[in-house]
Amino acid sequence: MTSLPDIQYEIDIDLGSCGGCGRCVAFCPVDVFEMRQREQSVLHPDAPLFISTAVFPQMCWGCETCAGQCPHGAIRVMPLGGAGSFHGRKTAEPLSEEQRMLYASWAATLKGILGLRWEPVAISLIPAGAPLPDVPVPDERLRYCQSLLAARRGMSFMMPANRHACPDGTSILGLTEMPAKLASGELYLLFHKLDNLKAAQQMVHERPCLEPRTIDATVVTPLAEAACEPEVIMVAVQPEQAMWLLMSSSYYTGKRHTLHASGYNAQCVETTLIPRQTGEVNVSFGCYGCRAVSDISDDLMFVGIPVARMPEIIRGLEELSKKAIPQSRAKIYMRHSEVIQETIHVRTAREDDLLMIRVISDDVAMPRIESVEHTYVAVNDEDVPVGFIRIRLTKTSNDEAAYVYPVAVARSWQGYDVGTALMTHALDIFGELRLVACTPSHGFYERLGFEKASWECIASEIARDCELCPEASTCIPQPFVKTRLPY
């Protein structure tokens, strides 16, 4: 397939810790291990007679299933060697400026309307022999799901078979043949993920799987930085955001969705192959593998969108954002006086508030803050923060100012004047507040009594942050100022 050197792994087994249980032999999908008899030691007469031995280390995929399943922590798997290149392979033509701008606009719309914390991800499966895009090959093996979840953080990877660490996903995606233990369903019983072999074989039989060696590499990048034409767009979302994507897909037809999810092979099957093969949007709740090897939170799920559906979905999402989305998020039918009886008050933030402050930041897709310095929280009757405001102080030879940096309210509390309470509290302390707001927020600040200001009143360090922001060209930042009225 390729002249890339294979990545080899050193498998270190601590014989003093090995309990001779044989789990590594049973769980290894490519049969690297065998149990071998060892000489009994006078110093350790109770040591197990049989110990694990890596007899075929050259077969190792680096999936680390052996290390994860070893009850004694006796196994370490360490990569040897580095990444090579597809020598002599034709390079694909770069995307046109028009295509790059289109994909970047899709990403901006998804992030802006849905309030995504993570980047939408462009997925491409490179057919055998096809030209290759200019995307870096990782130095060591990753699972396909790990590469997707890294791409949502802004990374880009092109992975041939010898950079994939999961034999299951690699064979499902058509890069290799499927190992016998996976094809038979045997390994699923060892993981205790299914009740019996018939059930395991049924699960294997039902999932789509590309023909072996028909794909040379998987390519994942942030959608805004796509290096080749994507086939599927993956969006990591919370359930409410997934709902709007599904509604956007149905906006012009009213059709309900038939979704295929099982908790098995989430990213390779449910997020990638099903949308790619059916041409329909699909959802995934993740699977044992992708949740065990990554930091994805419990409330995160995934939507796979065939790229051909994206123009329609973007248009539908833009229409929903005109009324349905803001009204739903404002909970316009929930009467505050009847449903929420708690009273809000504002106090100085404490160190033990930082966790809830970060939860609120994640809830509204804002960057996390790292300290509670100059931070104030709005709390409910149980003293639980439901919103916060952080003030950034600047001082020059002729000016001192307090900047809102930022203010955030938990979604379930938006529309109940929490933001107003936070602003009022900060105004009482500092007398004047300045800020720079993106276009969608202008109305919010104007309703709070802020007035548009010139950039001359904004400190250079604040203005520089805006200039360096990658979204400055789309958010159209505007300075605002408000001064406390004298009593």
pLDDT of residue 240: 94
57 with 111, same domain: the answer is no
The reply to whether 239 and 101 lie within a common domain is yes
State the residue range of the domain holding 191. 97-320
Q: What is the pLDDT of residue 411?
A: 84
Q: Is the pLDDT of residue 339 over 70?
A: no
Asked if residue 432 and residue 384 are part of one domain, the reply reads: yes
d(CA 109, CA 361): 20
Q: Out of 270-284, 313-327, 354-368, pick the least confident.
A: 354-368
> Do 125 and 160 belong together in one domain?
yes
The verdict on 132 and 280 lying in the same domain is: yes
Model confidence pLDDT, tens digit, residues 267-279: 999 999 999 999 9
Number of domains in the chain: 3
pLDDT band at 332 (very low <50, low <70, confident <90, very high): low
Does position 415 have pLDDT exceeding 60, yes or no?
yes
DSSP secondary structure string for all residues of 92-156: PPPPPHHHHHHHHHHHHHHHHHHT-SS--EEEEEEETT--B-S-PPPSS-B-HHHHHHHHTTT--
Let me know if 231 is exposed, middle or buried by CB neighbors in 10 A (0-12, 13-18, 19+): middle
Query: pLDDT class for 140, splitting at 50, 70, 90?
Result: confident
CATH number at residue 474: 3.40.630.30
pLDDT of residue 4: 39
Residue 455 in domain: yes
Weakest mean pLDDT among 70-79, 243-252, 323-332, 372-381: 323-332
pLDDT mean over 134-149? 91
Which is more confidently placed, 201 or 246?
246
Q: What is the pLDDT of residue 45?
A: 59
- For residues 240 and 230, give the distance between their C-alpha atoms in angstroms, rounded to a whole number: 25
- Compute the average pLDDT of residues 408-430: 89
Mean per-residue pLDDT for 277-294?
92
- The pLDDT score that the predictor gives to residue 147 is 95
pLDDT number for residue 337: 43
One domain for residues 358 and 478: yes
- Quick one: which of 278, 303, 287, 371 has its CA closest to 114? 303
Residue 313 has a pLDDT of 98
Q: Are residues 61 and 199 in the same domain?
A: no
180 pLDDT more than 50: yes
Nearest by Cα to 304 from 291, 313, 316: 313
pTM of the model: 0.64
Give residue 47's pLDDT: 62
Asked if the structure places residue 329 within a domain, the reply is no
Together in a domain, 391 and 424 = yes
Q: Rounded mean pLDDT of 245-260? A: 96
Bigger pLDDT: 257 or 333? 257
The answer to whether the peptide bond before residue 477 is cis (omega within 30 degrees of 0) is no
For residue 305, pLDDT over 70 is answered with yes
Q: Classify strands 345-348 and 232-237 as parallel, antiparallel or unpaired.
A: unpaired
Is 302 a member of any domain?
yes
Q: Is residue 441 pLDDT above 60, yes or no?
A: yes
Instruction: Tell me which residue of 14, 1, 294, 54 sits closest to 166, measured CA to CA.
Output: 294
Indicate the range of 8-22, 36-50, 246-260, 355-369 predicted with least confidence.
36-50
Question: Is residue 2 in some structural domain?
Answer: no
How far apart are alpha carbons 27 and 31 in whole angstroms? 8
Report yes or no on 327 lying in a domain: no
pLDDT at 343 over 90: no
Average pLDDT, the chain: 87
Q: Is the pLDDT of residue 84 over 70?
A: no
